[in-house]
Amino acid sequence: MTQRIDPVRLEIFKNLFHSVAEEMGAGLRRSAFSPNIRERRDYSCAVFDAHRNVLAMGDHMPVHLGSMPASVAAATAALQLEPRDAALLNDPYAGGTHLPDLTMVMPVFEPHANAATRRAAKTSRRPLFYLANRAHHADVGGAQAGSMGLSREIFQEGLRIPPVKILERGKVNRDVVNMLAANVRTPIEREGDLTAQIAACRIGERRLQAMLTKYGRKELNIYAQALLNYSEAMMRAVVRELPNGTYRAEDFLDDDGISESPLRIAVKIRVKGDRATVDFTGSSPECEGSVNAVRAIAESAVFYVFRCLVDEQIPATSGLMRPIEVIAPQGTIINALPPRAVAGGNVETSQRIVDALLKALAKAAPHKIPAASQGTMNNLTFGGMESRPGHPPGPFAYYETIAGGMGARPGFNGVSGIHTHMTNSLNTPVEVLEHALPLRVKMYAIRRNSGGEGKYRGGDGIIREFEALTEMQAALLSDRRKKGPYGLAGGKDGKPGKAELNAGKHKQILASKGAWHLKKGATLRIETPGGGGWGTP
Amino acid sequence: LRIAIDTGGTFTDCVFLRHGQIEILKVPSTPQNPSQAIAIALQEIAGRFAPSSIAPLDLICGTTVGTNALLQRRGGRVVLVTTAGFEDVLEIGRQARPKLYDFFGGRPEPLVPRERRLGLRERVGADGEVITKPSSRAIQALIRRVRRQRPDAVAICFLFSFANSAHEKSVAKVLRKAGLRVSASHEVLPEIREFERTSTTVVNAYLLPIMSNYLTAIEAIACRAIRGSATRTKTRVQVMQSNGGIISASAAAKEPVRTILSGPAGGVLGAEYIADLAGYDKIISFDMGGTSTDVALLEGAARTTDESQVDNLPVSIPMLDIHTVGAGGGSIARIDRGGALRVGPESAGADPGPIAYGKGEQPTVTDAHLLLGRLGRAALLGGEFPLDLERTRRYFESARKSAPAIRNIEQFAQGILDVVESTMERAIRLISIERGHDPRDYTLVAFGGAGGLHACGLAAALEIPRVLIPKIPGGLSALGILRADVVKDYSQTILQRASPSNLSDRKLQAAFHRLESQGLQETRAEGFARSQIRIQRTLDLRYAGQGHSLKLAATKNFAAAFHREHERRYGYSDPSREMEIVNVGVRLIGATPKPKPSRRSATKRSATLAIEAFEPVHFHGSSIKTRIYARARLQAGHRFDGPAIVTDYSATTAVLPNWRATVDSQANLILSPMPRTGRKP
């Protein structure tokens, strides 16, 4: 930290950049259409400097945190973004994570007082900032409604969008929207959500331009860089507190949904002074099914875990990652190559990467690290045709994730029925769900005694049971069905999760990953894993 | 005699009229038993009147009893009855965690633990159709289980009870017959979203016992105050609600959840009243106290929201849209490990208090003001409360050493003020710019102990062109309560597609009529004739498929108004999309008698008569010899330029350099930047 940086201004600019991201998020949530965005808040917004460093992230979804810079990099590499343009993308192999996450990237230029100066400066201008927002859309086409099922290659997972301009000079590119609408199951809802994403970009642009007018680009730049240095200094202080050494751990995904064999996440964390290297060498090769992750997801998980070690409220900027190097060998399950299927990498593999990282860090700082939480998001999708009397007929696609048990912490029990680590999406209220979709929720309860025993008990999972009121397709992407989340320091493992389909006479325990046809009246019961315990009971 | 009482953390303020003039009495609060301070105040006030002129006596209370009981978890023992299979909705909440990056975080314990959440086999569907009717045997068994828990109150919330309340009604009836206090969700909040409705209903049940005890005590005190002619009919106790209206004590005892933001609501109404008299209808109220600050935006009348949370528990009934931030005069400043100066949310409170009070050891916002000379002559409460400047200097010297970039303690102190002002600025942004309002169109009404010290700086940062400091910054909340009307809100979720002809739709009209007839009956019970009651109808609208709705007046042009409002809030609208009516709402207003404002004609004499000292005061890096004015001696028509400090019994105002102050005909201070002034660098 240099002497010239005023601690007062630093705090003020930190608040300003953060509030831009939060404002974008509030606008997106309030005007979005799908329950997944408006009720469950499965979105993120962020502000970047001209060099594509994150300056501020809203307190949204951790899994988006480390992966949004890749979107900005991909958009700017592929397109020449002009003022009032915005790029849209979802290609996991070009700045995305999995296909349902549609990301928008907008450049922000210096505002000009009048049109003449604007014309004069047009050619030489470069963006001073970038804004991005990412929202999980309930369907982007592909083999299964909800686009979150089991696939063998990305082409089955939905429409793949490389960076394209959705906004050109402030005008919506209808060609792109029409192309997208023609490839998804619920085009009207998609268009509504895209409009809300565009509106969020514009909210951010207005705020940043007002800041540019007020403080000037020079001052904003100085403090943007100071903010990055500030986060870096914070992270260095935290890493320095870890004892020097090499900490190894591994954890496993149950399977890829196609073969039965477990998939290894191996991690080696080397701490030296105020730097750390996180090496995933030794992780399983990329797999047949859809739990492959791209590199940005591995980085997100590392980012998240180290961010949690910082006990102060600090901004989630790219500076946090400067002292940390990530080694993610290509062709493995944490850095897959096209055309592998990736729907579950973002939501399942990301959680297991966190589990492996925490297991390793527990060796370095046993009293700062919790036992494993549920380690899955229990991704559940429904799709079909509405046929209830009194409801407008038409296709529907719905996506949700179900919370589970939190791992026990040294000194505290784990919390029951709560989202942990890489996600923090809300539930869809039962009353909103049943109003919007031909589903009835039969039970929504805490799964008693599913948390691991210990001096401190793991949190309990959840039981959520649905009845299909019309024929439909259901798909599940989940994990921790074979072995429960690990306990630490002598604590017992939490109970693994379970899913059961009951169609009258037939009762069937479902695999962790797959798609099923539900007849009218069939019930689907999901029991989510409990968290691991901490300490000998 | 009408007396408005605002019970705060430190003082209990009473405002009443004597000979047509507003009078104020401040007595120390008695947090252990808040009614005690009220008894003391009443005795004192009664002494100022002839015994015969006291009855009929109206007491109107702003109370923190509900909020405190929630924050300190001192409410009643509640049993919650739910649809079987959904007993845990209260605990799971929305399944998210409040803090994203904290392994050790959690969420607040539910107000009702697992063993007191009981399920009943019953079910209503999304369209209000009965799927499972509860058997009378099941209900009888339930009652036995409830009684075994020996509850102080019972909350009932069944799925879709807003669409069909029959099951809730029958259970509530049986429980009430059994002599239990009941809070049923279809009565408290008949709106969609089971967790928020359950939470609100439970909070209501949780506060039932404590609030009814409190109100009984106040009623007894009121009766005692009119001793000789003591009959209950001659006293009336009313309570301020969070929505900015008052209700009778008996209504408040049934729905205590409506009183949670009672005190801050009074402040907003007070600000609205003062600003209205002064001729400003667009205001931002800014009430800065010791530990927290309340801000609200008013356009004519105050706005309400139904998305509030108290201590992370959702309370979805209409409340004035007041945003509270955990920063005030007592907020503690420190340099963090990354080298940034942080202020709050930790507060030195009243004990140990700021360094200057003699016990505290950590720099606070109040200390920073003292160091810079902003508090006038180093004392508060008109000199009764001395401040230790030397002690403050010593502690600041040692605290600033952790930040080499800070050259001296004055720079440190100024930094603390800048940071706390940036927190306030963010709060005001949130309620203004973020919701599509431009602060440049507003007047900042600043009050509370510290409001006047930050008003100019904040106004400069947000380009607010004018600041109003009321004549009685310390008693404004009580004044607001004195002025408040009786307001009753009713709502009902209907969820139907909207077309412009919808207003004549039978189902819609029936919903309005039902709410209105219930409202009229209950408002008449507060002592109003039909002709004295105003009725407002609202619609909560959204585009079909959205989750968040906008509240609009139910007028013929509601559709156009909705598209306009959506455009303003979110930057786009789409008249071709279908709209949906989520809730219908009805508000009934019964007007209460208002004190008449007194106006003073402008004095011709110079303001120099009000100067009581010249002292050096620091403003952004330089020390300037500054005039210190006594507020009590300022008269209508006085005008003077900053820099200046205006001291008052309960509050101090700082007029920054390049700002001008005038005293208006109601003795308010009006501050505005002088022409040709650039913005703050």
Which residues, at least 6 apart from B305, have a Cβ–Cβ distance to it below 8 Å? B318, B319, B320, B321
- Percent of chain A exceeding pLDDT 70 equals 97
DSSP A59: S
Q: Which of B92, B415, B545 sits opposite A462 (nearest CB)?
A: B92
A contact residues 425-444, partner B, Cβ 8 Å cutoff: 425-427, 429-432, 434-435, 440, 442-444
Nearest Cα to B524, choosing from B486, B481, B489, B484? B486
Is the confidence at residue B379, as pLDDT, over 70? no
Q: Which of A23, A29, A237 sits opposite B434 (nearest CB)?
A: A23
The reported pLDDT for the residue numbered B681 is 37
The reported pLDDT for the residue numbered B680 is 42
CB of A218 within 8 Å of a chain B CB? The answer is no
Q: Which of B405, B414, B571 sits opposite A5 (nearest CB)?
A: B405
Which neighbouring-strand residues pair with A502? A507, A523
Phi, psi of A19, deg, nearest 5? -70, -25
- In chain B, the residue whose alpha carbon lies closest to the alpha carbon of A429 is B193
pLDDT category of residue A113 using cuts at 50, 70 and 90: low
Q: Which two tokens stand for residue B381?
A: 């409460």
Supply the DSSP string of B137-201, one letter for each residue: HHHHHHHHHHHHT--SEEEEE-TTTTT--HHHHHHHHHHHHTT--EEEHHHH---S-HHHHHHHH
Residues of A in contact with B107 (CB under 8 A): 415, 418
The reported pLDDT for the residue numbered B118 is 98
Do the beta carbons of residue A62 and residue A155 sit within 8 Å?
no
Supply the DSSP string of B607-637, one letter for each residue: GGGGEEEEEEEEETTEEEEEEEEEGGG--TT
Range A163-177 average pLDDT: 96
The reported pLDDT for the residue numbered B178 is 93
Is the confidence at residue B431, as pLDDT, over 60? yes
Is the confidence at residue A3, as pLDDT, over 50? no
The reported pLDDT for the residue numbered B576 is 84
Range B268-285 average pLDDT: 92
Residues of B in contact with A30 (CB under 8 A): 546, 548, 569-570
Q: How far is A337 from chain B (nearest CA, A)?
A: 30
The reported pLDDT for the residue numbered B223 is 85
Is the confidence at residue A151, as pLDDT, over 50? yes
Q: What is the pLDDT of residues B163-190, one digit of tens each?
A: 999 999 999 999 999 999 999 999 999 8
Is the confidence at residue A116, as pLDDT, over 70? no
Supply the DSSP string of A401-460, one letter for each residue: ---BPPPPBTTBPPPSSB--TT--PPPPPHHHHHHHSSEEEEEEEEETT-SPPSSBPPPP
Mean pLDDT is lowest, of A148-152, A372-376, B154-158, for A148-152
The reported pLDDT for the residue numbered A506 is 85
Which helix (H) or strand (E) element contains residue B639? Answer: strand B639-641
- In terms of pLDDT, which residue wins out, B594 or B440? B440
Do the beta carbons of residue B317 and residue B355 sit within 8 Å?
no
pTM (two decimals): 0.87
The reported pLDDT for the residue numbered A339 is 95
Q: What is the mean pLDDT of chain B?
A: 87
Q: What is the mean pLDDT of chain A?
A: 92
Interface test mutation site (partner A, options B89, B90, B103, B435, max chain A beta carbons within 10 A): B103
Task: Provide the greatest CA pair distance for chain B.
Answer: 83
The reported pLDDT for the residue numbered A69 is 92
Cα torsion through A147, A151, A154, A156, rounded to 10:
-60
Is the confidence at residue A119, as pLDDT, over 70? no
Q: Which of A11, A29, A430 sits opposite B342 (nearest CB)?
A: A11
Do the beta carbons of residue B283 and residue B275 sit within 8 Å?
yes
- Percent of chain B exceeding pLDDT 90 equals 44
Residues of A in contact with B427 (CB under 8 A): none
Identity (one letter) of the amino acid at A275?
A: R
Cα A316 from Cα B170, distance rounded (Å): 52
The reported pLDDT for the residue numbered A316 is 84
Cα B427 from Cα B326, distance rounded (Å): 10
Are B103 and A308 an interchain contact pair (Cβ–Cβ within 8 Å)? Answer: yes
Nearest Cα to A333, choosing from A288, A378, A268? A288
Are A62 and B95 an interchain contact pair (Cβ–Cβ within 8 Å)? Answer: no
A contact residues 367-426, partner B, Cβ 8 Å cutoff: 368-370, 390, 402-403, 409, 411-412, 415-420, 424-426
Q: What is the pLDDT of residues B66-81, one digit of tens each?
A: 887 887 788 999 999 9
Residues of A in contact with B415 (CB under 8 A): 6-8
Q: What is the pLDDT of residues A471-485, one digit of tens each?
A: 999 999 999 999 999
Are B405 and A35 an interchain contact pair (Cβ–Cβ within 8 Å)? Answer: no
Q: What is the pLDDT of residues B641-655, one digit of tens each?
A: 989 999 887 788 999
Interface test mutation site (partner B, options A31, A84, A400, max chain B beta carbons within 10 A): A31
Residues of A in contact with B546 (CB under 8 A): 30-33, 38, 192
Range B534-540 average pLDDT: 93
Q: Decide: helix, strand or coil at residue A534.
A: strand
Q: How many CB atoms lie within 10 A of CB B639?
A: 13
Do the beta carbons of residue B41 and residue B27 sit within 8 Å?
yes
- In chain B, the residue whose alpha carbon lies closest to the alpha carbon of A305 is B101
Q: Which of B95, B337, B571 sits opposite A427 (nearest CB)?
A: B95
Do the beta carbons of residue A530 and residue A450 sit within 8 Å?
yes
- In terms of pLDDT, which residue wins out, B620 or A162? A162
Residues of A in contact with B337 (CB under 8 A): 233-234, 237, 312
Do the beta carbons of residue B74 and residue B17 sit within 8 Å?
no
Do the beta carbons of residue B173 and residue B208 sit within 8 Å?
no
Cα A76 from Cα A52, distance rounded (Å): 9
The reported pLDDT for the residue numbered B11 is 73
Q: Decide: helix, strand or coil at residue A106.
A: strand
Angle (nearest 5°) at CA B668 between B45 and B606: 115
Cα A470 from Cα A200, distance rounded (Å): 36
The reported pLDDT for the residue numbered B620 is 81
Are B340 and A419 an interchain contact pair (Cβ–Cβ within 8 Å)? Answer: no
Nearest Cα to B487, choosing from B255, B245, B301, B188? B245
Are B418 and A8 an interchain contact pair (Cβ–Cβ within 8 Å)? Answer: yes
Cα B674 from Cα A506, distance rounded (Å): 81
Which residues, at least 6 apart from B368, have a Cβ–Cβ distance to it below 8 Å? B333, B412, B413, B414, B416, B417
- In terms of pLDDT, which residue wins out, B216 or A6? B216
Is the confidence at residue A133, as pLDDT, over 70? yes
pLDDT category of residue B377 using cuts at 50, 70 and 90: low
Which neighbouring-strand residues pair with A496? none
pLDDT category of residue A431 using cuts at 50, 70 and 90: very high
Residues of A in contact with B127 (CB under 8 A): 390
Residues of B in contact with A23 (CB under 8 A): 434
Q: What is the pLDDT of residues B448-496, one digit of tens each?
A: 878 999 999 999 988 899 999 998 887 888 999 998 999 988 988 888 8
Interface test mutation site (partner B, options A3, A8, A433, max chain B beta carbons within 10 A): A8
Range A325-354 average pLDDT: 96
Q: What is the pLDDT of residues A261-309, one digit of tens each?
A: 999 999 999 999 999 999 999 999 999 999 999 999 999 999 999 999 9
pLDDT category of residue B359 using cuts at 50, 70 and 90: confident
